Structure 1
């Protein structure tokens, strides 16, 4: 059955934050379906990929994914809880697991602990004219970042400057939607790590997005233990995810 709007998606997925993020408020090009206890939402060009976020019972999700991919095409990557995606890939012909990572989010309505910092080196939103500096910092500190200035869905950047006035840490408000604010592009200049700059910019962006959205979320590599520990201190809780795709996609 096709789902018609964001409210129907929220009810069908019981408020699953990942699926709500994948629905992007049911904006242009987004489609959603349900089959028994399964929900699937297809969103084009979300976090630089066509993504099919899923939740529900594995058998129903597998059947739904096969139907949906036949309709939307093989470019869509299935994203969901790690155990679910592993089982769906095992049940689906020519589908392989691409990798695993962590989804971290705040409980609904929760604010990150502590106030935004004040004084020297404080974090704040950057002007458009400063995005060249953001690009240069990302090229040095996080060349594989999915979020970079100018990419569709990346809305604004926050940053911290060091004592010499140089930009030393950044984070983006990217691919956010009404129920879920999303943080991406977190990076700290290599020479400035270990001084709390990354925590300052993350705390600022999390607080700003938490004030405007029901939840705040981000994704992080499973092996990035330092970042996972930081986000945990800031009130986010983790959930293991995986992505899968049809061969050749």
Structure 2
């Protein structure tokens, strides 16, 4: 087993490893290969899945993932840089590719404020039904929904009449990394920059509270990727694997 400070050192502060570790609390664990070149981190219930984050050369990761997976069980899905996942799928019987997406993060040292938050504000618990209705209308496939474990707080943008038009959540955050999730915009209000507004607000809050901000995005959603890049986020291609 690896302690949190040692994990951060071994993985060079890799954002996905630090996020999955969640401070190595609540049953999250990390392992290092015998030669110390590779690290695997297991975190349960993160953005819908039990996840394994990976760091290190593939020749050291393949046997380590075999060992860790035998201990934690098949619900844990490895995810990481495409070349690492490709090597795991080729080298670990029973693992298959389960999809690809993007990880984006705003590294430590980036400006603490994000321009463009405008009218976005944190919402109270009395807005839960409104948020749920907007997510259902604007982003029914969202991994973050009101009341879901790990979803911490919702922000929103309202019009002059008080109608909720856009939302985003701070969710599944770890010590050192706040995660943006659950971005939804009323279909009738799209094209007004409201999604950017609420994302700018949550990213700024994530940076202020945790030091770094991150998010996951569908690789095909080029408009969203461009918007996040305009907010200072850097795109990193990622693949996931699952047990057959």
Structure 2 length normalisation: TM-score?
0.96
Deviations 1:147-192 (A, max 9, x none): 0011110000000012332111000000001111100001111110
Question: Pairwise CA RMSD of aligned residues?
Answer: 1.2
1:205-235 deviations in whole A, cap 9, x for unaligned? 1111111222100000000001000000000
1:246 aligned residue:
243
Decide whether the 8 Å contact of 2:117 with 2:199 is kept in 1.
Answer: no
In structure 2, what is the equivalent of residue 176 of structure 1? Answer: 173
**Alignment-derived partner of residue 2 in structure 2:** 3
Structure 2: 5+ residue runs without aligned partners?
Answer: none
Of 28, 31, 55, the match for 2:29: 31
Q: Are the counterparts in 2 of residues 113 and 235 from structure 1 also a CA contact under 8 Å?
A: no
- The answer to whether the Cα contact below 8 Å between 1:111 and 1:211 also exists between their aligned partners in 2 is no
- 2:114–2:203 contact (8 Å) kept in structure 1: no
Q: 1:191 aligns with which of 180, 188, 197?
A: 188
Give the structure 2 partner of residue 22 of structure 1. 20
Classify the secondary structure of the residue corresponding to 1:3.
coil
Give the CA deviation at 1:113: 6.0
Partner of 2:232: 235
Contact 1:112 1:206 in 2 (8 A): no
Structure 1 portions without partners, runs of 5+: none
Q: How far did residue 44 of structure 1 move?
A: 1.2
SS at match of 1:44: strand
1:109 CA displacement: 2.5
Aligned to 2:66: 66
Return the alpha-carbon distance in structure 1 between the equivalents of residues 173 and 82 of structure 2.
22
Alpha-carbon distance in 2 for matches of 1:47, 1:180: 14
On the 8 A contact 1:109/1:210 being kept in 2, the answer is: no
Tell me which residue corresponds to 2:75.
75
Aligned twin of 1:135: 132
* TM-score, length of structure 1 as denominator length: 0.94
- TM-superposed CA distance for 1:112, in Å, is 6.0
SS at match of 2:156: strand
